[in-house]
Amino acid sequence: MKKIRVIDSHTGGEPTRVVIDGAPTSPEKGALAARDFLTTEHDWLRRALILEPRGFEAIVGAYLCEPADSTCVIGAVFFNNVSYLNGCLHATIGVVQTLVHLGKISPGDHRIETPSGIVTATLADDGTVTVKNIPSYRFRENQVVEVPGYGPITGDIAWGGNWFFLIQDQGPEVRFSEIEELTRFTSAVMEALEDQKIRGAYGGEIDHIESFGPPQEGVEADSQNFVLCPGKAYDRSPCGTGTSAKLACLAASGTLAEGETWRQASIIGTIFEGSFINLPEGKKITPVIQGKAYIIAESTLLLDPSDPFQFGIGS
Ligand code: PYC
């Protein structure tokens, strides 16, 4: 029986499962090398942790590794029910809270190496984590895509550690009661973008769709979103890389000034606070995202070689 120890947390409702023991060790330092190692040789780990019967589609897994950059406290590779993510800020906040839980870090600044670059997480005494993300930018404004069943939909394409298509006030209302319809709509947008070969810079696949609307009554925020992730799960949190992409668009259009706070609500009403710092290079910004994670489980997962679903159901 193979045993894998994990710690589960959630950040604004979005789960993170961090592997703390029992996984194969990447032979090379660095998050990119570790991602290659998992992808090519040990994808079973992703499937066993995230797919049913042990997981479900919203969980993001985090594999910790030795960073290539010695100024980083740790390296992290993120994965979900279908593949590996470039960056993931709700999971970065989950990793920080997990390291606190294990007694490995205390309040202060901690650099974390991810496949999309190095982020700096500042842990406060009350457990709040503020992450300075990698440089983010709006790649294209007012891109039109013809979406079968919905007609022309206009959105911005932006990079926040993943590629996003950001839609404002179109399609179903951004409300918890509309989750099924929002999932159908954003899935149709994602497919249409791919069919029409609309991509990010360097041909980057747009694998996250964000739909924005005004916040529902009782939610104190500047905006509420619904974020469709690759694998068709929706983000229960406001999505840290998605909020970074949103900040890049707000900065590009001059709607938000450097240092001003943007409160982004998720579809379940949880909040990330965001702001940005202008970068000298082009129109890029450093997004600054604040949230908090809570530990919800410490578990030992068992993989029985005689179990036909030891590596999860599906692929
Ligand atoms: O918080 O960046 C994020 C994220 C990406 C996918 C799910 N959460």
pLDDT attached to residue 89: 98
What does the pLDDT profile of the chain (315 residues) look like in tens digits? 999 999 999 999 999 999 999 999 999 999 999 999 999 999 999 999 999 999 999 999 999 999 999 999 999 999 999 999 999 999 999 999 999 999 999 999 999 999 999 999 999 999 999 999 999 999 999 999 999 999 999 999 999 999 999 999 999 999 999 999 999 999 999 999 999 999 999 999 999 999 999 999 999 999 999 999 999 999 999 999 999 999 999 999 999 999 999 999 999 999 999 999 999 877 899 999 999 999 999 999 999 999 999 999 998
Query: For ligand 1, what atom is nearest to the CA of residue 238?
Result: 1
Residue nearest to atom 8 of ligand 1 (CA): 239
272: left (phi over 0), alpha (psi -120 to 50) or beta: beta
pTM of the model: 0.97
Ligand 1 centroid distance, CA of 273 (Å): 15
- What is the CB < 6 Å shell around ligand 1? 14, 60, 85, 88-90, 229, 235, 237, 239-241
pLDDT at 48: 98
Nearest alpha carbon to residue 286 among 177, 143, 124, 132: 132
Nearest atom, ligand 1, residue 87 CA: 2
Query: Which residues are part of the catalytic machinery?
Result: 88, 239
Q: CA 186, 192, 198, 202: dihedral to nearest 10 degrees?
A: 70
The H-or-E segment that residue 90 falls in is helix 89-101
Cβ-based neighbour number of residue 21 at 10 Å: 9
If residue 244 lies in a helix (H) or strand (E), which one and from where to where? helix 240-252
The H-or-E segment that residue 33 falls in is helix 31-41
- The predicted structure's pLDDT at residue 283: 86
pLDDT at residue number 281: 74
pLDDT digits (tens, 9 = 90+) for 237-249: 999 999 999 999 9
Q: Nearest Cα to 107, choosing from 96, 117, 118?
A: 96
Placement of tokens 């606190």 in the chain: 100
| 3-class secondary structure, 49 | helix
- Cα 228 to Cα 129: distance, rounded to the nearest angstrom: 24
CB atoms within 10 A of CB 125: 7
pLDDT at 177: 97
CB of 136 closer than 8 Å to CB of 176 = no
d(CA 49, CA 61) in angstroms, rounded, equals 7
Question: What residues contact 10, with CB distance under 8 A and at least 6 apart?
Answer: 16, 94, 236, 293, 294, 296
Ligand 1 centroid–CA 160 distance in Å is 10
- Nearest-atom number in ligand 1 for the CA of 235 is 7
